[in-house]
Structure 1
């Protein structure tokens, strides 16, 4: 048997060992609080670091996650550990895309944390209160912009979050059909200060009448002297009716397109006969007669020899050239429609009365030599009285 003192000693040693072990276990067991993305829980950990506590909960953290205190920090009884997982947020602001990482759990909190400009008037593709899961989110932000729309003779200032010109017009309730002009185009991205112009295009159909100018043809005529022209058929203009499509831009004509043409009256071509008959050879003019009687005028005296039949008489040609220069600026074929014709401005009655019909119907249709011949006939009978430019003789 063990002696009583020895037995008591053994019992004391065993009690001391149990007490020491209890103290060690109590020292290693730590009660800590854990918050994961705002969700709180508690646990007992036999470990010395924050990482040990996370491992017990099966929590793995990456480079974008946030752990406070850090994973390697010593762990004390009563500590609080905060874990916030990182989320990838892809944000496109007014067409410019950028990737961010955030530990925020809502869209609004993420925008604030990342200092992304998205005022209360901005348009977001997701609700500001929407939860931001660990899978992340792609977010589109369109900020408000000030633009001007010119339409129907008005300039309308607009504050818009529309992404394109088409969105702005829809916001204003502006309808536009395929014929209207929109500048810049409907798919153009909206920028601050953009000017948008809408022009209304309309089509109208109308008819109009236009003249058709007549043509002129000539034919040879052996019954007329060379240099003589005679109108055989008088030319007449025709007419045509055009059907036109007119384009109106904001009510103003901007261009015509001919749809059809219909001749309503045909033009009549003018036919002119041109003489080919050789002219008779002109006789030599009589020798000028001299007289010792005093002259009261610088013009040659009338001579009965100037009344010869249909032959050419170029007596006094230089004088008639001077008178013609005064009467018609020397244009022997002039016809101004005033009832006087040719270089010496004969009227029809005087021309025909002096035998001008031997050469042509009117003086302007006769040659210079023929007009001088007839002038000499009149001059022999009446002197220079018929010519207002007689003073030029």
Structure 2
């Protein structure tokens, strides 16, 4: 059969004794030149409409080849799998692949020309392969982007690390995905909003409130430390030799804790003429004195309150106190109560009841401190007797305007002679009193109350005039002549 023209129309040929792999080889290597009539190339017929007959069917075709294993019946090792062969396909024997020497040479030259130019495919095959290639490219690109967005991150939250995969772009998004809430006192590194990459480590340290009292000064602070020791170091507190209300290794929970710190201080104690300096973290001066080996007896005390907080560099003096008590009695003055009396002339006051002073007992503490006598200190008071008030009658009766027969006399001269013009004058014997030195019985016989020296000058003069009307100048034997002078 003559060679077909590769540029001309192809006619279908009957498939005779050619396996699927052989057709694939003809198509793959593009044998368009001379061919063996027993092995026509795949392009010589329509592969979709050709009838395929199984090998060994009687009358189907003339069998021109008998495998060597049927003649010799000698088993051979299996052949290696060839590239492109499918499972279950028959592998042609060497005799079946052999052709004429000329055909073999033309096929080799055609193969070299095929490698020298791009493979030519029918238009229909190209249209079928293009969408598949696009789908494969899209899937490959999506997978690459998916892998690129995934990040392996180590997240350490309050000392608890864990490794996770995330598609978050920054720290804030990652913490939100992991439900990690942070507050104003929490520390996040890197800072929120920072971009993250695969392999980064994100650290979150929660803030904890600490109610800290250092040497008596109280304040509240926030710390991200996990233990008391770390918190003290973070706050710069000198803990060497200090008293701590909590163990240094104690864990600080998110609820915080109260911590009392008393740093070590140097305090000097002066006692009995000797100075003792001690290093202490005591809470009171009393404890410092005891640590210095000084004992307090009786009323002994210190120069500062014993319950006060000792300061660094402070000097505390021990005061040796000896003393006694002294009791004194003091008089409590009485009060004066005044009562109106219409029977007395205006300006006249008469003591109706004499007041009695009370009595108070006062106890004083006498102390000698380090050999020096101190000013007595009031220790206590006790009322022994209550005072009794004094009652005074006050006259409200109007004074008489005149006494007939005595108004024109020189009563001022008589008063000057008798008492020196003093209304409250009393003679040395205590018998006579007032401006005119009247006796108490005489005064009361004239209508007076009490003693004359307690009455007003006007009342004394009015009652003296009444006495003159009754007895003349005889009650004043030495000064009576002054009435007419």
TM interval, shorter chain, is 0.3 to 0.5
Q: TM-score, normalised by structure 2?
A: 0.39
Q: TM-score, normalised by structure 1?
A: 0.47
Q: Which has the higher contact order (CA 8 A, sep 6+)?
A: 1
Q: Which of 1 and 2 has greater Rg?
A: 2
